[in-house]
Amino acid sequence: MNSGDSRQNELRTRPTAALVRAAIIGGVSLALALVLGRPDVILVGLPLLVWALVALARRTLRGEERAVVDPQQRVNRRSIEEGGTAAVTVRTDPGVLTAATLPMPPHADVAPRHGALAGDGEVQLRISAQRWGKIRVGPMHVLVADALGAYRAQRTLAPAEVQVVPASTVLDAPVEVPTPIGVSGVHLSRRRGDGTALSEVRAFRPGDRLHRINWRVTSRTGQLHTNATFTEQDTEVLIVTDTIADIAPAPWSDAEAPTSLDMTIRATSAIARHYLAAGDRVAVFDIGHLIGPVPAGSGPRQLRVLTTALSRASRDAGALRPARRLRSVRSGTLTVVCTPLLSRDTIAQIGVLVSHGADVIVVDTLPPSIGDTSVLNGKPLRIDGKVSDRFWPEAWAMRRLLREKTVRELREAGVPVTAWEGPSSLAPVLLSLSAARTAPRMRRS
Amino acid sequence: MRRGQLVDPVAQRLLELQKVSGTQWLLRIVGTAMTLLALLMTFGGTGLLAHFGTTLITLVVALGLLCQFRNPDSDLGLLAPVGIVVGILAQGEVSMLRTAGIGLMLLIAHSAYALAATIPVHGVFGRSAWLLAGKGLLAVLVLSLLGGLLVAGLSGVQLGPWMMVVGVLAATGLFIAVLPRGR
């Protein structure tokens, strides 16, 4: 940076209206006292004159005539969890009254309440994230002044970004999958082989391992018997997210009620965390292309990759994104589709997945308040004290009824649909899928 | 006009008032209260509306206060202290103690408004900001006390008419030194 640029960036304080007032009142009262020979009048303006002189002397002694320290902004955490807090610190110089004002970011709380705080040389504002995604912190307006408020300068600092990772709910569900398709892992498969779960005790065959011989049965029968086990396999879990549209909850619901996108992202995060903890490979395919595809992977690194991808997503309210299609999926892949089931493209995509032989579970992420008119009790909806003429609740109630038909058809096609109600949402579905795996089947010709 | 159209903007303004921080309320109320106290000390409780002159000064001070309460950085904030100085000049001889008290009230009011102008209407002062402002004000108070004692001590000394020239020159020099440049 050359000297011209640095001079341009220097923060120079300027006199305030308060200094002008103090100088005029103090000077005028002193002059009038001298001219009129009224020493008592001096005492009225003397404190204000001293106030101005102290401010001037302080500025000269501290060398603030040329420039004051440029405010520096620092965000302590660039990535936080939903409900987590990041601190934004603005630092100047001790003895400088520093006031920082932050515009209120959407879906976040700022402390102090309205995002403006003054301190001595350093100010710290805290931002608590309510929703996942990117939070734009700033642009921050910083005002620096002397201790008396006689001189001041202002600067606007460039905005910073904080990524909010979806809350890490631990899914309360079994880790069993209907069709494990990997090589080794924790899921009990239907194939017999090396493992720990006992399948049967049978006669010893050439090639069986000696340490698996069941000596108790052998001594009783007089013939060599061995313990046969089921193999244990991992699997690939594909999470399909529908981010085509973000459906806001009904106006009468709680201000903190999640939108369909919130529910989708939270469900995705919880399911991915659950299966990654079990050692499976997890991939994400986003129909709306809001978070982008995440290739299959396993372990803590994959969890980091996934949560980073989720937190990088930005909301653009009201915008409809074009749908993308997943062309193929490996047969037997456990596929969890998180969707509000409103888009035809998503429903068609579920059909494609089923036709490819995937074990599909649909997690319904439509906010429960949508289409629920019971709270109105027959009264019209009031928005901001005015009667709404848009028939908003009635329209959504009809849409939900139409959607019930889709849900019924999916269930009839063997696709379980479960509403996302938190960490325990998937348990009954996964248990029923596991039970269905062992149930007798009709031979297909 | 429908009632809803009349009530809603009023309610909206009342709701906006909720955003005003405690710090701003405190500083603006202290500023206004101290100026009013200075006005009362100038004219006495019953003298505010005693005749046309005092009524006019009271109205000017009230107008200045109203403007400054709405916007602490307003140049019209000058009206209130000017009105009080004019009121003292119009009264003839006033005791030193009374004028010192009025000066002190004006200083506190001035400091409160000057600090209120450094933060937005919803801004709050942290503990360190209060301490910094308090230290600055304490230095001003101590120096004002010393200056006041000096004025009281020298007021009894009879000097020749030539001192008037020196005094006016000194006051002019001080005024030029203090008067802000390049606002």
Same structural domain, A330 and A309: yes
Same structural domain, A345 and A269: yes
- Based on C-alpha coordinates, what's the Rg of chain B? 20
The answer to whether residue A114 is domain-embedded is yes
Q: Could B99 and A41 be called an inter-chain contact, meaning their C-beta atoms sit closer than 8 Å?
A: yes
Q: Note if the bond before A112 is cis, omega within 30 degrees.
A: yes
- Based on C-alpha coordinates, what's the Rg of chain A? 34
Q: Which of B94, B140, B146 to mutate to test the interface with A (most CBs of A within 10 A)?
A: B140
Q: Could A54 and B120 be called an inter-chain contact, meaning their C-beta atoms sit closer than 8 Å?
A: no
**Neighboring chain A residues of B181 at a CB cutoff of 8 Å:** 15
- Token pair, residue B177, equals 């030194």
Q: Which residues lie closer than 8 Å to B23 by C-beta, 6 or more apart?
A: B119, B123, B124, B125
Q: Which of B79, B175, B176 to mutate to test the interface with A (most CBs of A within 10 A)?
A: B175
The answer to whether residue A445 is domain-embedded is no
pLDDT at B2 (0 to 100):
45
Scan for tokens 């050359």, then name that residue.
Answer: A2
* Count of structural domains within chain A: 4
Indicate which CATH number applies to the domain containing A134: 2.60.40.10
Asked which of A206, A233, A260 is the last residue of a domain, the reply is A233
The answer to whether residue A173 is domain-embedded is no
Question: Do the beta carbons of residue A129 and residue A135 sit within 8 Å?
Answer: yes
Same structural domain, A424 and A382: yes
pLDDT for residue A100 is more than 90: yes
Same structural domain, A301 and A364: yes
Give A19 or A427, the one with higher predicted confidence. Answer: A19
Same structural domain, A76 and A23: no
Instruction: Encode pLDDT of A160-215 as tens digits.
Output: 888 888 776 666 656 565 555 555 555 555 556 666 666 778 888 888 888 888 89
Mean pLDDT of B108-117: 95
Same structural domain, A207 and A241: no
Q: Which residues lie closer than 8 Å to A346 by C-beta, 6 or more apart?
A: A242, A244, A287, A323, A337, A339
Mean pLDDT of B124-128: 94
For B181, counting Cβ atoms within 10 Å of its Cβ (0-12 exposed, 13-18 middle, 19+ buried), the class is: exposed
Q: Could B123 and A95 be called an inter-chain contact, meaning their C-beta atoms sit closer than 8 Å?
A: no
Instruction: Indicate the length of chain A as a whole number.
Output: 445
pLDDT at A51 (0 to 100):
94
Instruction: Indicate the length of chain B as a whole number.
Output: 183
Same structural domain, A59 and A73: no
How many angstroms separate the CA atoms of B60 and B58, rounded?
5
**Neighboring chain B residues of A49 at a CB cutoff of 8 Å:** 174, 178
Same structural domain, A19 and A79: no
Scan for tokens 């000390």, then name that residue.
Answer: B41
Q: Which residues lie closer than 8 Å to A262 by C-beta, 6 or more apart?
A: A131, A132
Nearest CA in chain B to A147: B133
Mean pLDDT of A20-46: 87
Q: What are phi and psi of A232, to 5 degrees?
A: -115, 130
Same structural domain, A385 and A405: yes
Q: Note if the bond before A300 is cis, omega within 30 degrees.
A: no
Q: Which of residues 41-60 of A touch B (CB under 8 A)?
A: 41-54, 56, 58
Q: Which residues lie closer than 8 Å to B149 by C-beta, 6 or more apart?
A: none
Cβ–Cβ contacts within 10 Å for residue A84, how many?
Answer: 15
Same structural domain, A425 and A276: yes
A99 touches chain B (CB under 8 A): yes
Q: Could A20 and B180 be called an inter-chain contact, meaning their C-beta atoms sit closer than 8 Å?
A: yes
Q: Could A18 and B148 be called an inter-chain contact, meaning their C-beta atoms sit closer than 8 Å?
A: no
The answer to whether residue A433 is domain-embedded is yes
Q: Which of residues 33-62 of B touch A (CB under 8 A)?
A: none
Q: Which residues lie closer than 8 Å to B128 by C-beta, 6 or more apart?
A: A119, A120, A121, A122
Q: Which of residues 3-22 of A touch B (CB under 8 A)?
A: 14-22
Same structural domain, A299 and A338: yes
Look up the domain containing A43 and give its range. 3-66
Same structural domain, A201 and A313: no
pLDDT at B160 (0 to 100):
67
